[in-house]
Structure 1
Amino acid sequence: MSLNRRLVIAGAGSFGREVWQWANDMQSERREWDSIVFINDDLNVAQKIIDSGINCSIISTINDYIPEPNDVCVCAIGEPKGKLQVIDRLKNKNVVFTNVIHPTAVIGVGSKLGIGIILCPHSVVTVNVTIGDHVIVNIASSIGHDAHLEEGVTLSAHCDVTGYCRLNKGSFLGSGARMLPKSILGEFSVIGAGSVVLKKVAPNRKVFGNPAYYVD
């Protein structure tokens, strides 16, 4: 393990503060980093971080951030388009990305994970799942066998993605959403909280309900 390794969390909002906690939980199992810091475009959230009891500073805006040699980064922004825009800005700085995988997360045999992934507490990735870069799987969400998640997908808490589902780039599931087997989400589609996807959602569309129907 490299000395003076620093985890840089891009995004110091509500989810960023949660990721800070998950990263610290990882430290209790095995020391991954020597320090954890935030970068965030709005420096005014610094007081909120202090008030929340988090012992972590915002070192710069994302634009002004200059990576240090032992920095590794993860993007803690849930909304996929905004997340991928920030990631592109960081890539232009030659940032090295890492994964934040909570000790209680489960990863099954034959599953393949990209980089920049966040697996939150009690998330489950079963067998032969493929997860692309910069995917977020929030608290107690599960991904069934042979599912495929492309870059930038976000699963909110308590989602259920069943076997053979495909989630294309930047798709988003609200809390408690479910996908029946072999369902497909188009790029940047949005599934409302508690919705149940039966078959297919077109790209850039929003659905809600059980069964899910278009609302845009």
Structure 2
Amino acid sequence: MTTAHRLERLVVLGAGGHARELVDAVHAVNAVRPTWDLLGVLDDGDRPTEPGPEVGAPYLGPTSMVGMLDARYVVGIGDGAVRERMDEMARRASRTPATVVHPTASVGRRAVLHPGCYVAAHATLTTDCVLGRHTHVNVGASVSHDDVLGAYCTLAPGARLGGRAVLEDGVTLGLNCAVLPGVRLGAWSVAGAGATVTRDVQPGSVVVGTPAAVLRRAAERVGTHRNVFGRLEVDE
């Protein structure tokens, strides 16, 4: 007698375009192998009680409800800083994050994905790379051998990392950005769309162009410090 596979209950935090893509990824996973019982989305914007089919899942209420639902969660928000805040809220409510990998993504057998990661359609992760907590690798982006990405990083569609690159927590790579092998980007730095990053970037900086040059340096980010895997390094 075959035992039926038990689906894991899941909610998506967010209901914008990024969340809709993530919801589609959940449906794509289920089409290959039923995995998730998608309860719906939680969002703090003005939403109708029953959103239209473009969302792909029922609207359940504001994100503060995450602790009231017996389900795992994934954050469908493109901004890494907002993902961090949502993650903190859900963690305080003792919820467990889920990891969603679109079935058309290519993930090497020795890649390590920490909780909450989202790997979108046609993205590529090769061997011995590490993705920190709630890092998002968007459509067609690629992560090469021995790359280490911290928590809450965001690779926009088409972004590419050479081997042995390091992205500290919260780094954002814009559309079609390229990072050369061995380059390190400091925490919460941003590389603009189409940039080619050829040398290390200081934390909080914004770099643009080819080769990438500093456009501005952001004020030091205040908040809980984490290491590259999203674990707390100081007391809350």
Name the TM-score class by shorter chain. over 0.9
Q: What corresponds to 1:101 in structure 2? A: 101
The AA in structure 1 aligned to 2:54 is G
Deviations 1:92-123 (A, max 9, x none): 11111111100011111322111101000011
Question: Which of the numbers 17, 20, 32 marks the counterpart of 1:17?
Answer: 20
Q: Matches of 1:155 and 1:128 in 2, distance apart?
A: 18
Question: Judging changes above 3 Å, is the alpha-carbon distance between structure 1 residues 55 and 110 closer, same or farther for their aligned structure 2 residues?
Answer: closer
- Aligned equivalents of 1:171, 1:54: Cα separation in 2: 27
CA separation of 1:7 and 1:211: change in aligned 2, threshold 3 A: same
User: Residues 1-216 of structure 1 correspond to what in structure 2 (within 5 A)?
Assistant: 1-3=5-7, 5-42=8-45, 44-46=46-48, 49-50=51-52, 53-69=54-70, 71-216=71-216
Aligned 8 A contact 1:13 1:45 in 2: no
Q: Which runs of 4+ in 1 moved over 2 A?
A: 45-49, 52-55, 64-69
Contact 2:20 2:56 in 1 (8 A): no
Matched residue count = 212
Shift of 1:46: 4.0
* Residue ranges of structure 2 left out of the alignment (5+ in a row): 217-236
Partners of 1:129 and 1:23 in 2: CA distance: 23
Q: Secondary structure at the match of 1:66?
A: helix
Please state whether the residue corresponding to 2:194 is helix, strand or coil: coil
Mark the runs of 5 or more structure 1 residues left unpaired by the alignment: none
For the residues of structure 2 that align with 1:66 and 1:85, how far apart are their CA atoms? 14
Question: Contact between 1:6 and 1:37, CA under 8 Å: does it hold in 2?
Answer: no
Q: Residues 136 and 155 of structure 2 are in contact (CA less than 8 Å); yes or no, is this contact kept in structure 1?
A: yes
Offset at 1:8?
0.4
Q: Report percent identity of matched pairs.
A: 27
How high is the TM-score relative to the length of structure 1? 0.93
